[in-house]
Amino acid sequence: MKSIKVGLLGIGTVGSGTFNVLKRNQQEIAARAGRAIEITMVADLDIERAKKLTHDEVAIVDDANLVINHPDIDIVIELIGGYGIAKDLVLKAIANGKHVVTANKALIATHGNEIFKAAQKKGVIVAFEAAVAGGIPIIKVLREGLTANSIQWIAGIINGTTNFILTEMRDKGLDFGVVLKEAQRLGYAEADPTFDIEGVDAAQKLTIMASIAFGIPVQLSKAHVEGITKLQATDIRYAEQLGYRIKLLGITKRTAGGIELRVHPTLIPSARLLANVEGAMNAVQLRGDAIGDTLYYGKGAGSEPTASAVIADLVDITRLATADPEHRVPHLAFQPNAMADTPIMPMAEITTSYYLRMHVADQPGVLADVALILADSSISIDAMLQKKLAIGETRTDIIILTQQIQEKNIEAAIAKIEALATVVGAVIKIRLEELG
């Protein structure tokens, strides 16, 4: 049977991993796919480096258009990144009747609706398993493995850089800035780590998962996004004393009021499996009405883990290439004409629990004043700590865990607490999820 010819756009970390794994495991992959899959063209601006990485075994060009216009190419792998030229190339490849595999979460989260519409019209497949959580096959789980379920919620540690930083802050008691420099030195963080530490990378991945889980269009612009730059080692230590750990979570939930779509630091009970995901590892926990809670854990980045997901998409497309387009698995799991217009909830309307830390004067009546404000706002206290900062210190920290309350109500209460003469500075607020 004729082999599947693949064109690769970009042979960096993931591209070289894809080339090497596909070559190393070619016989087993062919046995699974039903025919051979081979990369025959590579487009990269650094031709000499590309020749070395491919051992000069394939055609190397510096113009991606030569790949997507080549009549013998069946599948285009886009590993350029970003959503400028990458978007144009993907749409051109689709227009040329070629299937597309991409690891580009920014592209799918930002322009996925347009790309999937074009692919549906042309009868080709756009596969993007590698765009979320690296080697963890979470897209396939959501699109296929759990199709019998009504997904209730997803909570994921889906950025390895921030998870490494938070693990180091907890284990070593160091502040964010110190650990970030160490993460950059070790290669866990980019020279410009903004997308990671500000939560943008996690929001892109969460947006894609939410669309597949709930049958809604990709809506990155409606996600609430907070990073970890303002987290203090003090709060990580207090959380630990209360039986919690702080993780940067991507959370999406189906509620009566709509879909929650949010990324932010979150307290999780230390006993939860998700709380014990350490270092640069990723994990996604979700709840389905039939299956209950499940957890998916593994490497969220890296050359060969991500290549594993890219090649899995190549195999899927190879198996399905001759299938009637109307009977393939839809890009976002739901049939295009069955997508829902369920609204994304504003953060003011979401309901969760909270960790509050306030720096106050060490004098009688302060705690009573705070408790009265919370009671008047119908906010119940679940746990509390009072920590003297040092012998002879005239101020103390009060840490409160609340029961569930709407965000707008906790914000109103915090404003009243900060107005007290005995409260110094801003109240620190971190959301809390039991995930149980």
296-355 residue pLDDT tens: 999 998 999 999 999 999 999 998 876 667 767 788 778 888 889 999 999 999 999 999
Amino acid 357: pLDDT: 97
> Taking the domains of the chain in order of start, what are their residue ranges?
4-136+303-338, 138-298, 347-432
Amino acid 333: pLDDT: 73
CA 261-91-40 angle, 5° bins: 115
Tell me which amino acid residue 315 is: V
Please check the confidence at residue 89 and state whether its pLDDT lies above 70: yes
Tell me which amino acid residue 97 is: G
pTM of the model: 0.93
Cβ–Cβ < 8 Å for 333, 212: yes
- Give the confidence band of 436 by pLDDT, cuts at 50, 70, 90: confident
Whole-angstrom distance, CA of residue 414 vs CA of residue 396: 18
Whole-angstrom distance, CA of residue 27 vs CA of residue 71: 25
The domain covering 138-298 belongs, at the CATH homologous superfamily level, to Dihydrodipicolinate Reductase; domain 2 (3.30.360.10)
Cβ–Cβ < 8 Å for 370, 363: no
Q: Which of 205, 247, 387, 416 is catalytic?
A: 205
- Give the confidence band of 157 by pLDDT, cuts at 50, 70, 90: very high
Rg (CA), the chain: 24
Please check the confidence at residue 428 and state whether its pLDDT lies above 90: yes
Please check the confidence at residue 391 and state whether its pLDDT lies above 80: no
Amino acid 330: pLDDT: 80
Amino acid 338: pLDDT: 85
Cβ–Cβ < 8 Å for 203, 197: no
**Burial of 233 (C-beta count, 10 Å sphere; 0-12/13-18/19+):** middle
Amino acid 286: pLDDT: 98
More confident residue, 193 or 337: 193
Pick from 51-55, 65-69, 330-334: least confident: 330-334
* Residue 205 bears catalytic tag: yes
Whole-angstrom distance, CA of residue 141 vs CA of residue 147: 8
Please check the confidence at residue 201 and state whether its pLDDT lies above 70: yes
Tell me which amino acid residue 434 is: E
Q: What does the block give as tokens for 277?
A: 């995901």
Residue 41's DSSP bridge partners are 7, 59
Whole-angstrom distance, CA of residue 38 vs CA of residue 29: 10
CA distances from 430 to 133, 249, 280, 402 (A): 24, 12, 22, 11
Closest CA to 130 of 304, 328, 7: 304
Pick from 207-211, 232-236, 261-265, 383-387: least confident: 383-387
- Give the confidence band of 128 by pLDDT, cuts at 50, 70, 90: very high
Q: What does the block give as tokens for 374?
A: 């919370």
Please check the confidence at residue 361 and state whether its pLDDT lies above 70: yes
Amino acid 83: pLDDT: 87
Q: Which CATH architecture has domain 347-432?
A: 2-Layer Sandwich (3.30)
- Give the confidence band of 147 by pLDDT, cuts at 50, 70, 90: very high
Residue 216's DSSP bridge partners are none
Whole-angstrom distance, CA of residue 358 vs CA of residue 176: 20
Phi (first) and psi of residue 84, to 5 degrees: -100, -90
**Could you confirm whether domain 4-136+303-338 is CATH 3.20.20.80?**
no
Amino acid 321: pLDDT: 72
The percent of residues above 90 in pLDDT, for the chain, comes to 88
Q: How confident is the prediction for the chain on average, in pLDDT? A: 94
- Give the confidence band of 244 by pLDDT, cuts at 50, 70, 90: very high
